[in-house]
């Protein structure tokens, strides 16, 4: 169901001829209201793509009301990043064309602003003739069916091997979403894009704070390969069509639950991965310190290779943990415990239980690091580093 | 020649039975004076191995005179890291035994302190009976010949495929060294260890400042796989046997030249690598900013895979460059140029010359990033990420 599960939304996914593979490459999600609330969080990369700059300006109210949007159009096949002034002009022209098409789609009030997302190879200009022709076809294909939602989720795939959708039904209202990406980010043919739709009645401020907080604790804590995309975008659209107004904390919890599930699917489909790895740091002095430590450990290629080889190599956990600056995350190295899949292989700075008793065969691998310095905890997800990753990113690049 | 090239030094490399492979695993370097000047730089990992703690205490003068040492004993086969109080006791016992053996080797003044280095798997206790027996055999094998220096360089190898030595002959004095490691650091069976010997007359302060400065600009700017070892150690021993006292700036230049050459050999032997990559950032506001930017780019698995696939994927350079915090390295993304092997594929924030004209076949790959923000520059070396790296670190781990 994904983006069409909530009332008030239509979607489409079509083949606009943007990808050499001939697979679907253009998705459209339209909010038919009554509300047109929108929120977004974006890559922190200083080299942000043209569509990221555009979305930020839309949500800031530079082209209409702040915190509002009528629709999102998303293309795969080109990231429209590092494409200079022409890239920015192409994004603006795409948004204008979709707004014009939607004005004819259902006559009524002013169509509002259109958000734009792109994913694919960096430095490749958009194929504007095909994109604009495709936009018209996408508007014609709009439907509020599960199939239409699935078609949209399929059209944003790059090196993803499966489409990724999920839905939560709550107390009289619904929230659903689609995501693409193969890790937090980055593969040359990828980026994380996510669109969440809900029929709850929320205002723009509530939507933005719920999305920001949820993203920081879910997709913000995935580190597949340490690389950050120029295009990462998570959008939330609210139609209000259910007539239900959830309490802000309930709304925030639902957004976090959904985005957590969607993020978990990114990890499960990460390029070449054979193990998903949850690195949980407990006993830190703050949640930020726990997150920093878990993130540092998640970046170790050596650890990721060890997990690929089903080797419970705690030495690679500890040596990586030791690179976290003390100012960021204070702890006493001699007080640390490390458990891998439930076996405490390292205890208080020295050997723990026999590592040969660790079962490394499950796809989900749990690495639990107890700092014994405080009460805060955080989990960062990563995946193993395999021949498959090298194959995808070296052997077959173009 | 390496560590025995300078007058006043003897070395040995033997098989003490510490490695299952049966290869040489114990090296000894002895300074016969007249000076016993010593300096060291070490890993900044908070989880430092017992021998690192020991060397720091020796050079601080906790076991004799500060900035002085008579010898270095180095073992492969175990890193003696994360081994708790027993690991510390084992290192101290090793040093004491070597000091005792050397007192009988050539009777004379008090034998002074002995430095200890270890490399190998983390969390494996030292085999002390074999190590102490081996130390006596190493003392008996000491010689000032090129063969003895080569034997020492061979005995410190782990996953290194070749021993790594070099020598510079200067104006009446000599400096030589040996190094081991397969990247800046870290592979579970590795670590960077380096011993440099010289017959120049230098004091401990000059030795320390020359070594610190040289290490920061050479081996400190290698980033093979982003992982930092618990054991990295670079030592400098000066015998004064040449009777020559170089100017401090000449001495420092020689140390930097030698350590740069040795470091270059680490990169060339990095695990699985098929390309050595020099990432040079120019036009930064400070050298530290240039180094931070180059170091960030060097950490991109995606870029490293692209180079393995001989793909001049500048998008992966730019997207990684964009993750450098502005406070660390200010620049305007639209002013940046990127050249790969001499072809400017990205110019002022947009497409540059045709990437198909870049020749990616040479082993040495040059990525030049002009920030156009200032006058400072720095180069960081890395290597490509290949199936060989995954094989070494996943498939065959124990």
pLDDT in tens, A313-368: 998 899 889 989 899 999 999 899 999 999 999 999 888 999 899 999 999 999 99
Residue B335, SS3 per DSSP: helix
For the question of an ipTM over 0.90, the answer is no
Pick A319's closest partner by Cβ from B47, B387, B396. B47
Q: Is B45 on the interface with A (CB under 8 A)?
A: yes
> Is residue A215's pLDDT more than 60?
yes
State which residues of chain B have pLDDT below 70: 1, 107-111, 182-190, 395-398
Q: How far apart are CA B144 and CA B8, in angstroms?
A: 8
pLDDT at A249: 96
Q: How far apart are CA B293 and CA B288, in angstroms?
A: 9
Q: How far apart are CA B309 and CA B301, in angstroms?
A: 12
pLDDT at A187: 36
Pick B82's closest partner by Cβ from A45, A311, A346. A346
Range in A21-35, A170-184, B319-333 the model is least confident about: A170-184
May I ask the CATH architecture of the domain B2-268? 4-Layer Sandwich (3.60)
Q: How far apart are CA B227 and CA B185, in angstroms?
A: 6
> Under an 8 A CB cutoff, do A188 and B398 touch?
no
Nearest to B259 by CA among B201, B207, B195, B316: B195
Nearest to A184 by CA among A385, A380, A395, A387: A380
Residue of A nearest to B47 (CA): A322
Per-residue pLDDT tens digits for B59-111: 999 998 999 999 999 999 999 988 889 999 999 999 999 999 999 887 655 66
Strand partners, B372: none
Chains A, B: CB contacts within 8 A come to 211
The DSSP code sequence of B151-215 is HHHHHT-SS-SS-EEEEEE-SS-EEEEEEE-SSSS--TT---EEEEEE-S---HHHHHHHHHHHH
pLDDT at A323: 87
Q: Where in chain B is the domain with CATH 3.60.70.12?
A: 2-268
Residue of A nearest to B326 (CA): A46
Cβ contacts of A308 within 8 Å, gap of 6 or more: A274, A275, A384, A385, A386, B390, B394
Q: Is A4 a known ligand-binding residue?
A: no
Per-residue pLDDT tens digits for B284-337: 999 999 999 999 999 888 899 999 999 999 988 998 899 898 999 999 998 999
May I ask the CATH architecture of the domain A276-395? Roll (3.10)
Residue A143, SS3 per DSSP: strand
Q: Where in chain B is the domain with CATH 3.10.20.340?
A: 276-395
């Amino acid at each position: 169901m994904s983006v069409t599960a909530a009332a008030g939304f239509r979607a489409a996914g079509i083949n606009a001829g943007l990808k050499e593979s001939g697979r679907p490459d253009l998705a459209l999600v339209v909010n038919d209201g009554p509300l047109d609330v929108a929120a977004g969080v974006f890559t922190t990369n200083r080299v942000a793509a043209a569509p990221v700059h555009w979305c930020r300006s839309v949500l800031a109210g530079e082209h209409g009301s702040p915190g509002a949007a009528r629709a999102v159009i998303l293309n795969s096949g080109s990231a429209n990043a590092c494409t200079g002034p022409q890239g920015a002009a192409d994004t603006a022209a795409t948004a204008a064309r979709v707004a014009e098409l939607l004005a004819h789609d259902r006559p009524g009030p002013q169509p509002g602003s259109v958000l734009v997302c792109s994913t694919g190879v960096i430095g490749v200009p958009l194929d504007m003739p095909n994109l604009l022709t495709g936009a018209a076809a996408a508007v014609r294909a709009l439907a509020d069916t599960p199939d239409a939602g699935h078609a949209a989720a399929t059209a944003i795939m790059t090196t993803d091997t499966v489409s990724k959708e999920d839905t939560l039904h709550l107390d009289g209202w619904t929230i659903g979403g689609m995501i693409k990406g193969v890790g937090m980010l980055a593969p040359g043919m990828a980026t994380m894009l996510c669109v969440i739709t809900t029929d709850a009645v929320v205002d723009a401020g509530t939507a933005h704070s719920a999305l920001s907080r949820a993203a920081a604790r879910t997709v913000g804590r995935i580190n597949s390969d340490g690389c950050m995309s120029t295009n990462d975008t998570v959008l939330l659209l609210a139609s209000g069509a259910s007539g239900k107004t959830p309490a802000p904390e309930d709304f925030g919890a639902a957004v976090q639950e959904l985005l957590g599930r969607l993020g978990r699917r990114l990890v499960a489909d990460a390029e070449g991965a054979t193990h998903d790895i949850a690195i949980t740091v407990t006993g830190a002095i703050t949640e930020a310190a726990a997150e920093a430590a878990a993130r540092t450990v998640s970046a170790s290629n050596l650890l990721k290779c060890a997990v690929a080889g089903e080797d419970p190599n705690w030495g690679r956990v500890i040596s990586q943990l030791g690179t976290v600056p003390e100012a960021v995350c204070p702890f006493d190295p001699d007080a640390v415990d490390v458990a891998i899949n439930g076996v405490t292989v390292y205890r208080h700075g020295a050997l723990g239980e026999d590592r040969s008793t660790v079962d490394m065969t499950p796809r989900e691998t749990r690495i639990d690091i107890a700092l014994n310095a405080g009460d805060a905890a955080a989990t960062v997800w990563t995946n193993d580093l395999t021949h498959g990753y090298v194959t995808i990113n070296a052997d077959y690049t173009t």
